[in-house]
Amino acid sequence: SIYNQWNMTADFYYTDDTHTIMADNYYAYGEGYSTLDIRNGADSIDASNDVNEDFLAIGLRNYQVNYGLDGLRVGDDTSQLQNGYELLGLYGDASFTLNGVLEIRGGGAVGSGITLDADMLLTNGNFTLTKSGTAGVHLDDVTYEFHMRDATLDVDNDGIKLVLGELWSDFAANDVRFGGRTTGVSMGGIAMQQYQQGSQLVISGGGANLAQCMGGTGVDEASCHASGGAWLDTGSEGLTIKHKQILLQENIAEGKANSLSVEMNRTAGQAGTGQTLKFNNIYTSDGYDDNTNTFGVENTMTVDVATARVIKKNTGTDSNGITGNAGDEVITSGKGATDYTYVANPDAAQRANRPEALILTNNVKIKELTIDSVQMQHGSSATSANMLQGMKLQNMDFTSRLSVTPIR
């Protein structure tokens, strides 16, 4: 058994085609007990594993974890602080207690790599979804029970690939708060179940590889500008994250399902005393029957850092004391938070000094997603009433592109 304590602060930098983004003032601290054992296969949490195969077992007991960051800076450490980490799945602040076990075996999906099994329980959680100063949106009093079987981690021609075997979990946030982390006004609670088989996460090099005219037409920067557009070139570097989720139909006998519940109008802080809206038995299929389920929900996100056109929204002086008119472009003269001016009609040299931005593209594809029922439950009543039955979303292909820069 090992007792661990840690306390650290750091800044993390990522450079993409000479453009840099920084996670500013990341902090982490905590304490807890861990164990390391080499065990026989007969002692695995997964009864289907080979009893003759030894494995490494890592145990965690009362791990109290705290971490967070101030925000992002695009350019260098003197650039203006901004949000945008939320879009990357990061939390502004987080604290929780973790207990559980992780089993690691040699050999992944393609011979090398590793295979993972895990049972984890997170309690006393508080997560900041987004924040501005001391106010934000927070998930408070969070519990999260997570189980994973036969997940494999490999590195191949596609990149870093995590293939999930069977995954099921229960998540609950007793309060969704607006304002302070534990004192803000609560809109109620949310709960979510997950039940998946064969889902995948692949991280590979190279982002969107865009070189195109936004808001106009043209094959290069000059012709694009002449048509009223802005040329966006994300370069050849960056990251691509592909996530496929295969959502299974509910397994009533084992208590596994995909569902989402929202509870409001309750006795303060007491789950199960209000009115609950539940989206029940959510699952995917390939469309022609419910027995074939290989497509799932496919989500592809690219992450790049590049220059982008930024337009002033209102006439007047901004929060940094820089004056301009609505419709003017932001043109930078350096990396600092106030090293910019507003220009009505920038020339080619000025357009080359547009501000750096976090560029995110996202594509979601679904062949068929079914919500078996939408239910309403009142108070502690054990019965529920169906509001809608048999909802389906078919053949969805949705693409978005965002450039994230400071509010000025």
The band of 41, judged by pLDDT with boundaries at 50, 70 and 90, is confident
Buried b (16+ CB within 10 A) or exposed e, 387-400: eeeeeeeeeeeeee
DSSP 88: G
pLDDT at 380: 66
pLDDT at 49: 82
Partnered with residue 161 across adjacent β-strands are 154, 202
Can you tell me the mean pLDDT for 247-257? 96
Percent of the chain with pLDDT over 70: 98
pLDDT at 305: 95
Residue 200 in contact with residue 183, Cβ under 8 Å?
A: no
d(CA 60, CA 37): 12
What are the helix (H) ranges across 220-333?
Answer: 221-226
Q: Above 90 in pLDDT, residue 253?
A: yes
Percent of the chain with pLDDT over 90: 76
What are the helix (H) ranges across 163-318?
Answer: 221-226
d(CA 217, CA 230): 9
Location of structure tokens 């560029």: 359
Residue 75 in contact with residue 310, Cβ under 8 Å?
A: no
More confident residue, 326 or 52: 326
Residue 175 in contact with residue 189, Cβ under 8 Å?
A: yes
- Which range, of 77-86, 105-114, 139-148, 237-246, averages the lowest pLDDT? 105-114
d(CA 188, CA 176): 6
Beta strand extents in 157-238 (DSSP E only): 159-163, 166-179, 185-186, 189-197, 200-205, 211-214, 230-233
Q: Above 90 in pLDDT, residue 324?
A: yes
What kind and span of H or E run contains 44? none
Instruction: Tell me which amino acid residue 29 is.
Output: Y
Residue 96 in contact with residue 122, Cβ under 8 Å?
A: yes
- Which range, of 131-135, 145-149, 259-263, averages the lowest pLDDT? 131-135
Q: Above 80 in pLDDT, residue 17?
A: yes
Residue 218 in contact with residue 193, Cβ under 8 Å?
A: no
Q: Above 70 in pLDDT, residue 269?
A: no
R_g (Cα) of the chain, nearest Å: 24
pLDDT at 147: 97
pLDDT at 299: 97
Can you tell me the mean pLDDT for 288-305? 92
What does the pLDDT look like over 274-296, one tens digit per residue? 889 999 999 999 987 778 999 99
d(CA 74, CA 20): 6
